[in-house]
Amino acid sequence: MRGVIGVNKSAISQLIAVLMGVVIAITLFSPLILKNAFAITAEEMLEDPVLEKRARTISAGLRCLVCQNQSIDDSDAELAIDLRKQVRDYLKQDMSDEAIFLALREKYGEFVLLSPPIQPATYLLWIAPLAILGIGILLMANLFFAAKKNNRGSLSQNNKSSGLQVVLPSSKKKKKSETGEAQIPDIIKITFPVFVLILSVAIYLGLGRPDLNDQPLAERSEMRATAEKELEDRQNAALKAFNQAKARVEKNPESLSAQFMLAATASQIGSIEDEVNALEKSLSLSGGDARIKSQLAEALTRQADGQVTKAASSLISQALQTNPEDIRALYLRGLESFQKGEMGDAILAWQSTATLILPDSPLADTLRSDIAKAATSNGVDIPKIKFASLPKSNISTSNISDSGGNNALIDVNPTLFEEQRSQFSNLSEIEQAQFIQQMVQRLSDRLEQQPENFYGWLQLANAHLSMQDVASASNALNSAANAVTSDEHRIALIEAALLSHTSLSLTQLVENQLALLPDSLRQSNSIKFLEGEYWRQIGDNNTAIKLWSDILNEIPAEGQQAQTLQQLIAELSN
Amino acid sequence: MNVRYILPIGIFCVIALISGVAMISILNGDQSRTQLPSPLIGKKAPELVLTSYGRSQASSDAALDFKQMIGDKPFIVNYFASWCAPCQKEIPFLEKLSQKVPIIGVAYKDKPDELAIFLERFGNPFLHIGLDNDGKTAINWGVYGIPETFLISDEGIIIIRHAGEMTHDVYRSIFLPKIEEMMQ
């Protein structure tokens, strides 16, 4: 029985020994294999084999200052390649090895020499190999003497039991306790090395894999985590907005704003089919609005993987007929010409697009590289691109920033929404876009520093809304909700959320904020009006009519407000 | 339990622990690698023998005459490239700085047309730009990663080498005291 166990054990330990041997061999030889595979290229090498050998030796003693723990001989960094070339240039100039080391040391300092200096930080590095060797020798000696002692013991035992093939259980036990073998169960002896192997492979794959960036660990995982979370948040918000827009369209398929919003949200979640469908419906509902035509053309192009289709092309022409300065249509016209190979036309169209946008708008980069591409494939010089300059419009932020309404609130003003819209739409489309773009950039920079700035968040939300960026707008409004410090803020927030008309992901927010208002305020006409708007937006027209009728009973019937309210109620009743 | 089994396992665990801690601290910390001391400080700035960018006349490949170009004033030499992100980030600050101190740019391994786009997009703070196409000049200056910014005295001596992005803070804390010292 003992013999069987013995065979098993030695087979397993042999297996482990072979495995470890393979691992050690790979580790030892991998630098050689990798070095030859990656670092030095044939064109770098010198023809003279003697010089080349010297070059290799010198390179091996020079630190790559980018990677720092590698010699330039086995680094692929740009600087290492340049330094290798420099070393070979020096050699061609008949410089001695010492002179080369010295020349580079004069430029890069002591640090460029690879042998690590002996200093407190590196004591462990220098001592560790010696210490490990010492410990190894001690262990070997220990094992050696123990084995000798053991041998002597078993010899005498063998002598005693010569002729007897069966070792009695009792004597076996005794022997085992003498050497201590029985103390550690076999299962641990086998699983422990395996566990260590698996652990080291896991650590290597997690931390040391060569394809990971050369970035500090904490920063890397933190960056990845925040990026993932941001993406997820944005996707969730967009998906929610899309689902709500869809519900609204189902309830009211003939509403232009509902269809248009569905298209905007579909584009955010990247569902091109839905976007195209919604835009087609919007187009027919709007009676052929030129702006929707160019949007549809863009969506169709994206649907065709960036190819401007026939349908898109005719839409572009129509849009440009109505408004020759339609940025989207102009850009697409350029793209169409580019795809047809008419580079001159493409450049012209893109150049006129550029004159309509600011040099730092996102499209500007695309335009620059597109024009450069067209010019290169046509074999002409890259033309100068002229972008629009900042508009000298007399409109100031106050027109927008007051939309949150500081004190105008408490007066009921049903036309509030429309007024702001029309004020803004007096500007040309480009002016609007440029204005908003600047504002958004400035604002979001500022708000990062002062998240408690409630009206700042409102402004930002407003700006996002005018760019149809519903997800960002609702994010901004949610941030505003965290900055609410007074009932006045609360009312302004509700108003802003309702102002969006879309309400989309914001119904919950409006509901919460309404509930948090004190009863006295909730009974006021202004809040009743807002609440009515809320119910109207979520589709409960009856409650809206009821609330608004309440207000009508309390205000003088001849006033403008009363008239507007009556109009609104009449619209809802139909 | 026998010492013979505990000892190796114990030693293994200690070594594993030490190397693990060392590895993690190296991966997380060690900011010092960004600033290596330059032995060129206090020495005469190496010549800039470069093809100049954006000048049609063939004034190329002669050493730049700092004195003629700038006069008896301290100046800055900035190694940059259009493909390097921190270089893009530091341009706005360099533009402001160039109103006080002249800046000579060395475009490290760059292509003229990409450089043109870069300068149009981010701005051009440089009095003069030389193209270091093969990286030899950078090696001569001990550059180990762009952007790197050198402060040169009116006598052509390298006073400061800063590796990494130039910011207002770096300028105020490192460059400004030296410049003021020189002006006196």
The per-residue DSSP string of A244-277 comes to: HHHHHHHH-TT-HHHHHHHHHHHHHHT-HHHHHH
Residues of B in contact with A79 (CB under 8 A): 135, 139, 144-145
Question: How far is B140 from chain A, CA to nearest CA, in Å?
Answer: 6
Q: Which whole number is the average pLDDT over A477-482?
A: 83
Which of A245-254, B25-34, B45-54 is predicted with the least confidence, judged by mean pLDDT?
A: B25-34
Confidence of residue A501 (pLDDT cuts 50, 70, 90): low
Q: What's the pLDDT tens digit per position in A282-325? A: 888 888 788 788 889 988 988 888 888 888 999 999 988 888 88
Q: Which whole number is the average pLDDT over A404-414?
A: 34
Say whether A513 sits in a helix, a strand or coil.
helix
Residues of B in contact with A183 (CB under 8 A): 1-2, 5
A383–B contact, CB cutoff 8 A: no
Interface-testing mutation among B144, B150, B161, with chain A (most A C-beta atoms within 10 A): B144
List, in sequence order, every residue forming a beta bridge with B149; answer none if it has no partner: B78, B162
Q: Where are the domains of chain A?
A: 2-112, 244-378, 398-573
Tell whether the model's pLDDT for residue A465 goes beyond 80: no
Q: Please give the ipTM for the structure prediction.
A: 0.76
The predicted pLDDT at position B138 comes to 92
Q: Which whole number is the average pLDDT over B50-62?
A: 64
Tell whether the model's pLDDT for residue A534 goes beyond 70: yes
The predicted pLDDT at position A411 comes to 33
The predicted pLDDT at position A415 comes to 39
- Measured CA to CA in angstroms, residue A561 lies from A206, A423, A551, A552 at distances of 67, 20, 10, 9
Residues of A in contact with B123 (CB under 8 A): none
Closest residue, chain A, to B140 (C-alpha): A107
Six-digit token string for A207: 């931390």
Rounded CA gap, A416 and A97, in Å?
83
Nearest to B2 among A106, A135, A180 (CB): A180
The predicted pLDDT at position A211 comes to 58
Nearest to A106 among B15, B18, B39 (CB): B39
A130–B contact, CB cutoff 8 A: no
**Averaged confidence pLDDT in chain A:** 73
List, in sequence order, every residue forming a beta bridge with B106; answer none if it has no partner: B79, B130
CA angle, residues B109, B31, A31, in degrees to nearest 5: 65
A83–B contact, CB cutoff 8 A: yes
Rounded CA gap, B168 and B160, in Å?
15
Inter-chain CB proximity B33 and A207 less than 8 Å: no
Q: Which whole number is the average pLDDT over A83-99?
A: 90
- Measured CA to CA in angstroms, residue A217 lies from A1, A78, A209, B32, B145 at distances of 53, 23, 12, 16, 21
Six-digit token string for A506: 């914001």
Inter-chain CB proximity A65 and B24 less than 8 Å: no
The predicted pLDDT at position B81 comes to 92
Q: What is the CATH code of the structural domain delimited by A244-378?
A: 1.25.40.10
Question: How far is A481 from chain B, CA to nearest CA, in Å?
Answer: 34
Confidence of residue A115 (pLDDT cuts 50, 70, 90): low
Closest residue, chain B, to A64 (C-alpha): B144
Find all residues with CB under 8 Å of A519, minimum gap 6, and list them: none
Residues of A in contact with B8 (CB under 8 A): 139
Which of A251-265, B38-52, B151-165 is predicted with the least confidence, judged by mean pLDDT?
A: A251-265
Q: Which has more pLDDT, B52 or A205? A: B52
Q: What's the pLDDT tens digit per position in A323-344? A: 888 888 888 999 899 888 888 8
Tell whether the model's pLDDT for residue A357 goes beyond 50: yes
Six-digit token string for B168: 């207002």
How many secondary structure helices (H) and strands (E) does chain B include? Answer: 7, 6
A359–B contact, CB cutoff 8 A: yes
The predicted pLDDT at position B161 comes to 92
Confidence of residue B2 (pLDDT cuts 50, 70, 90): low
Same fold, A244-378 and A398-573: yes
Tell whether the model's pLDDT for residue B15 goes beyond 80: yes
Q: What's the pLDDT tens digit per position in B63-81? A: 788 888 888 889 999 999 9
Q: Where are the domains of chain B?
A: 1-30, 37-183
CATH architecture, domain B37-183: 3-Layer(aba) Sandwich (3.40)
Q: Which has more pLDDT, A255 or B123? A: B123
Rounded CA gap, A112 and A106, in Å?
10
Contact A310, A339 (CB under 8 A): no
Identify which of A22-36, A83-97, A230-244, A550-564 has the greatest average pLDDT.
A83-97
Q: Which whole number is the average pLDDT over A167-191?
A: 55
Closest residue, chain A, to B13 (C-alpha): A196
Chain A to chain B Cβ contacts (< 8 Å): 85
The predicted pLDDT at position A399 comes to 33
Inter-chain CB proximity A109 and B142 less than 8 Å: yes
What are phi and psi for residue B64, nearest 5 degrees?
-65, 135
Question: How far is B116 from chain A, CA to nearest CA, in Å?
Answer: 10
The predicted pLDDT at position B126 comes to 92
Query: In CATH, which of 1.10.8, 3.30.300, 1.25.40, 1.10.3470 is domain A398-573?
Result: 1.25.40
B140–A contact, CB cutoff 8 A: yes
From the number of C-beta atoms within 10 Å of its C-beta (0-12, 13-18, 19+), residue A277 rates as middle
Residues of B in contact with A108 (CB under 8 A): 36, 38-39, 142, 144
A292-302 per-residue burial string, b: 16 or more CB within 10 A, e: under 16: bbbbbbbbbbb
Q: Which of B37, B76, B25 is nearest to A65 (CA)?
A: B37
**A2-112 under CATH 3.30.360.10, yes or no:** no
Q: What's the pLDDT tens digit per position in A116-158? A: 555 666 667 667 777 887 887 887 777 777 777 766 655 555 5
Sign of CA dihedral A391, A392, A395, A397: positive
How much of chain B is helix, strand and coil, in % rounded to 5?
Answer: 45, 20, 40
Confidence of residue A416 (pLDDT cuts 50, 70, 90): very low
Q: Which whole number is the average pLDDT over B123-144?
A: 90
List, in sequence order, every residue forming a beta bridge with B44; answer none if it has no partner: B157
Question: How far is A157 from chain B, CA to nearest CA, in Å?
Answer: 22
Q: What's the pLDDT tens digit per position in A18-62? A: 777 777 777 666 555 554 444 566 677 788 888 888 888 888 888
Q: Which whole number is the average pLDDT over A270-277?
A: 88
The predicted pLDDT at position B33 comes to 47
Portion of chain A with pLDDT greater than 70, in percent:
72
Inter-chain CB proximity A65 and B18 less than 8 Å: no
Nearest to B36 among A109, A207, A217 (CB): A109
Q: Which whole number is the average pLDDT over A153-170?
A: 49
Which of A91-100, A415-424, B166-175 is predicted with the least confidence, judged by mean pLDDT?
A: A415-424
Contact B166, B149 (CB under 8 A): yes
Rounded CA gap, A469 and A461, in Å?
9
Tell whether the model's pLDDT for residue B118 goes beyond 80: yes
Inter-chain CB proximity B2 and A183 less than 8 Å: yes
Say whether B106 sits in a helix, a strand or coil.
strand
- Measured CA to CA in angstroms, residue B32 lies from A68, B113, B124 at distances of 12, 35, 31
Strands (E) in B72-175, as ranges, are: 75-80, 103-108, 128-132, 148-152, 158-163
Identify which of A459-473, B13-27, B142-156 has the greatest average pLDDT.
B142-156
